Amino acid sequence: MLRSAAEQGITDIVNTVHFQHPKVDGKDISFEACQPVLNALQAESDKAGFGIKLHLGAEVFYLPNLLDITDNPLVTFGGGKYMLIEFLTHHIPSTQRQVLFDLKMKGITPIIAHPERYRPVQEDMELVRRWIRSGCLIQVDAGSLTGALGKSAQHTATEIVKLDLCQVLGSDAHDDHHRNFVISDALQICEKLIGNRAQTLVESNPLKVLNGEPIVIDLDEDSRPKEKFYMKWIKKSRKK
């Protein structure tokens, strides 16, 4: 995976372990357990000459306890300024609005992980705008744009990027077989959609997250008509 990343020009990788997700129940997902493994991997990467800097973090599964775990060094980035949060693909709980607001009030900016893969977002793009208006950032998976994660995710990811609702393009790579790095291909797709602004999604914005620097978002409300056309396509496709 590191070799593939290096070939695509990737210089930094954030290893985001699943945190408090049901799939890791019973496993030691802690900073103390993960840091030595990351250090060993960094040493191997340096030995191979990949020129990649590894960072440790987590993709935090949404539970109402997010405010209670912010002192854990694993769950935030940029000196405690950002938290990457994922939801169930079929349900966005109503409690998330207050919890995300409370995180912002505490100085932590939520980054919503791969919203294009959530059924509620696929049915209503307004959810993405609400997150942005409340101060959250949006991260789209590279594999969604390439079509590797299904047609619904691909169409929704494309629309999110076209409407300038995405701030970070993430690899979300899992293995060296079915979910390897496809940032290079996804970046080319982004460039066709939004031109040179695509570089911001893989360079300056991710760097600001790592450094704990603010990211200013200019939400273009004039993009709403495009969304209406997109929603008609979704409804029509589901009748087949």
Determine the structural domain holding residue 225 and report its residue range: 59-237
Does some domain include residue 11? Answer: no
Residue 240 pLDDT more than 90?
no
pLDDT digits (tens, 9 = 90+) for 194-223: 999 999 999 999 999 999 999 998 876 654
The answer to whether residue 216 is domain-embedded is yes
Which sign, positive or negative, has the C-alpha torsion 27, 3, 144, 15?
A: positive
Calpha distance 33→31 (Å, rounded): 5
Q: Where are the beta strands (DSSP E) in the chain?
A: 12-19, 53-61, 82-86, 109-113, 137-141, 168-170
Q: Examine residue 9 and state whether it is found in any structural domain, yes or no.
A: no
How many domains would you assign to the chain? 1
Whether 160 and 115 have beta carbons less than 8 Å apart is answered as yes
Residue 94 is assigned to a structural domain of this protein: yes
Q: What is the mean pLDDT of the chain?
A: 92
**Residue 82 domain flag:** yes
Q: What is the pLDDT of residues 173-185, one digit of tens each?
A: 999 988 999 999 9
Local structure of residue 180 (DSSP, 8 states)? -
Residue 98 CA to residue 37 CA, distance in Å, equals 35
Query: What's the pLDDT band for 230 if we cut at 50, 70, 90?
Result: very low
CA dist., res. 37 & res. 47, Å (int): 15
Q: 10 Å Cβ neighbour count for 115?
A: 28
Residue 49 belongs to a domain: no
Distance CA 102, CA 135 (A): 11
What sign results for the dihedral spanned by CA atoms 56, 157, 90, 175? negative
What confidence category does residue 231 fall into, taking pLDDT thresholds of 50, 70 and 90? very low
C-alpha 16/C-alpha 57 separation (Å) is: 5
More confident residue, 234 or 61: 61
Question: What size, in residues, is the chain?
Answer: 240
Query: Within a domain: residue 137?
Result: yes
pLDDT of residue 219: 77
Task: Note the pTM of the prediction, 2 decimals.
Answer: 0.90
Residue 230: CB atoms within 10 A of its CB come to: 19
Whether 135 and 109 have beta carbons less than 8 Å apart is answered as yes
- 33 forms beta bridges with none
With respect to residue 35, please indicate whether it lies within any of the assigned structural domains. Answer: no
Question: Residues 99, 71: contact at Cβ < 8 Å?
Answer: no
What confidence score (pLDDT) does residue 222 get?
Answer: 53
Q: What is the pLDDT of residue 232?
A: 44
Q: What is the CATH number of the domain that holds 141?
A: 3.20.20.140
